[in-house]
Amino acid sequence: MAVVSQPFDRSATCSAPGARDMELGEFWEDDPWTIAFRHNLSGFERNRTYLNLGGRQFADISYLTGSDSDGDGRSVVAADFRCNGQMDLLVRQAGGEPLLLFENHFPPQNYLKVSLRGSKSNRLGIGSRITAVVGDRSLVRELYPTNTFHSQAASFVHFGLGGRDSVDKLIVRWPSGAKHELTEVAGNQHVVIDEASGAIETITPGRTIPTVRAR
């Protein structure tokens, strides 16, 4: 526990408001600008992972998954690191602690990954809104790669399709104002959509399949 004096004037000096409880690790700091160099503020709180049960219901599965590390975790990036359609979690820690990769071993489900190739918009299509219509559901994603503590997510969006193996309609709204609608897009693949032509290209790691025109 840290107790920092106020105000933050360099010349301000304040006496501690009371006796410090040393067993709790309390300390008094007059200079807030140097607190990070003289004290470790990590409380070693264990990380948490929650499973969405549908709607607003979540279950805490931290202990079951082994992701409840007590390291000084500062950021987490979700990405398909094994290229199998399942999103894994990469946790970056501070203080020289190792990167932690938590592999997703839930039962495999159908998915669709979408990247963009902009022309009038920026090259990666950042800022685009992508909607996947699957039956009576509309799944909406915005392409804004997450930036956090010394970390950045990849510039693609991931749709979990559950038991459906295709997307009825894929709608891309580009920052330029252009709009593309692609129908009957097969799942379980990674596609790239081109802004200039409206074409869809299917890719696999290390190999590119020739471009085909979407229906």
First to last CA, the chain: 61
Q: Judge contact between 188 and 112, C-beta under 8 A.
A: yes
**Of the ranges 47-56, 72-81, 92-101, which one carries the lowest mean pLDDT score?**
92-101
Determine the 3-state secondary structure of 16 from DSSP.
Answer: coil
Q: Is the peptide bond before 17 cis (omega within 30 degrees of 0)?
A: no
Residues 65 and 121 in one domain: no
* Exposed/middle/buried for residue 81 (C-beta within 10 Å: 0-12, 13-18, 19+): middle
Let me know if residue 43 belongs to a domain.
no
Let me know if residue 35 belongs to a domain.
no
**Residue span of the structural domain in which 148 resides:** 110-208
Q: How, if at all, do strands 27-29 and 147-148 pair?
A: unpaired
What residues contact residue 129 under an 8 Å CB cut-off, 6+ apart?
A: 140, 141, 142, 143, 172, 173
Q: Judge contact between 80 and 89, C-beta under 8 A.
A: no
Question: How does pLDDT run across 127-152, given as a tens digit for each residue?
Answer: 999 999 999 999 999 998 877 777 88
> Looking at residue 186, which CATH number applies to its domain?
2.60.40
Q: Residue range 56-64: average pLDDT?
A: 92
Q: In the structure, what pLDDT confidence band is assigned to residue 109 with cuts at 50, 70 and 90?
A: very high
Residues 65 and 145 in one domain: no
Residue 125 reports pLDDT greater than 70: yes
Residue 98 reports pLDDT greater than 80: yes
Residue after which a domain boundary falls, among 102, 122, 141: 102
Bigger pLDDT: 38 or 181?
A: 181
Q: In the structure, what pLDDT confidence band is assigned to residue 210 with cuts at 50, 70 and 90?
A: low
